């Protein structure tokens, strides 16, 4: 398993995006509408079937906390942005970008802003988040000079499946998006995804009049720590079926709400 950890490290440090070219603004708008419709449809299905009784999957008009995790809240009042950004979904990129906005405001004062808050969130394929989290663990172990790295199968069993079944997420990079952002309790104007990070940024930038804000690419690249898709397929496909089933169970709502394919990496 030491060899596997080294392989993970070899593929860390760049964005792994399966798309060969960015989406046009028109195509991206279609994607955003499809995401919103899917989330609303799934939330109604959960509620009508009795699966929406918990606070994390309540109907959109329910009296519940819109965002459960304080760590995922990111606010920029002057530009009326409200973001729910779970770790490993582009949060470093948005953190850095918000810092640029804040510094810009301090220099020139608060400009006129839209009357309505733009509420947005970001998510990412569960398998990508797991691979990224393990890659970070392997890199930290390597930097610390440790000769033993927790095998990938043990990592999945301990930090993903057991943590999910207990509801105790010690690794913030692994907590499901729906638990962080309560999409069935909050109407998000933009449901973003790591795969469309640049397009989501440009859309929000244009909507809120942030023409002077630049994209912080170095932060985006750090947040993109992951493995190449072909390598992900190789190692996830090699996981024992009970572990794969366990991942699917833990992230079931993320797969359903955000339309991720289980077969993509198997």
Quote the mean pLDDT of the chain.
76
pLDDT in tens, 199-210: 998 898 888 877
pTM of the model: 0.79
15 CB contacts (<8 Å, ≥6 apart)? 220, 221, 224, 226
Query: Is 60 exceeded by the pLDDT of residue 55?
Result: no
How confident is the model over 227-240, as pLDDT tens digits? 577 777 777 888 99
Q: Where are the domains of the chain?
A: 2-9+23-256
Which tens digit of pLDDT belongs to each residue from 142-188?
Answer: 888 776 678 899 999 999 999 999 988 989 899 999 988 888 888 88
Kindly state the percentage of the chain with pLDDT values over 70. 67
249 phi and psi, to 5 degrees?
-65, -45
Of residues 216, 114, 213, 121, the one with CA closest to residue 176: 121
| 29 pLDDT tier (thresholds 50, 70, 90) | very high
Q: Is the four-CA dihedral 194, 29, 40, 120 of positive or negative sign? A: positive
Per-residue model confidence (pLDDT) at position 186:
81
What pLDDT was estimated at residue 12?
A: 35
């Amino acid at each position: 398993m030491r060899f596997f950890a080294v392989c993970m490290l070899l593929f860390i440090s760049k964005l792994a995006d399966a798309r060969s070219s960015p989406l046009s603004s028109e195509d991206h708008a279609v994607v955003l509408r499809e995401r919103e419709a899917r989330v609303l449809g799934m939330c109604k299905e959960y509620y009508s079937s009795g699966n929406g009784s918990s606070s994390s999957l309540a109907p959109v008009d329910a009296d519940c906390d819109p965002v459960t995790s304080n760590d995922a809240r990111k606010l920029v009042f002057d530009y009326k942005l409200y973001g729910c950004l779970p770790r490993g979904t582009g949060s470093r990129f948005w953190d850095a970008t918000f810092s640029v906005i804040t510094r810009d405001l301090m220099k020139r004062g608060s400009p006129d802003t839209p009357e309505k808050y733009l509420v947005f969130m970001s998510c990412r394929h569960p398998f990508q988040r797991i691979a990224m989290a393990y890659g970070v663990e392997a890199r930290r172990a390597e930097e610390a000079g440790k000769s033993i790295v927790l095998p990938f199968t043990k990592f999945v069993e301990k930090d993903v499946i057991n943590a999910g079944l207990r509801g105790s997420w010690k690794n913030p990079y692994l907590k499901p998006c729906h638990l962080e952002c309560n999409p069935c309790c909050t109407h998000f104007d933009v449901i973003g995804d790591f795969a469309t990070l640049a397009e989501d940024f440009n859309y929000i930038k244009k909507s809120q009049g942030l023409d002077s804000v630049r994209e912080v690419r170095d932060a985006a690249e750090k947040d993109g720590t992951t493995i190449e898709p072909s390598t992900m397929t190789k190692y996830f496909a090699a996981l024992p079926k009970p572990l794969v089933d366990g991942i699917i169970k833990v992230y079931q709502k993320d797969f359903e709400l955000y339309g991720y394919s289980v077969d993509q990496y198997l």
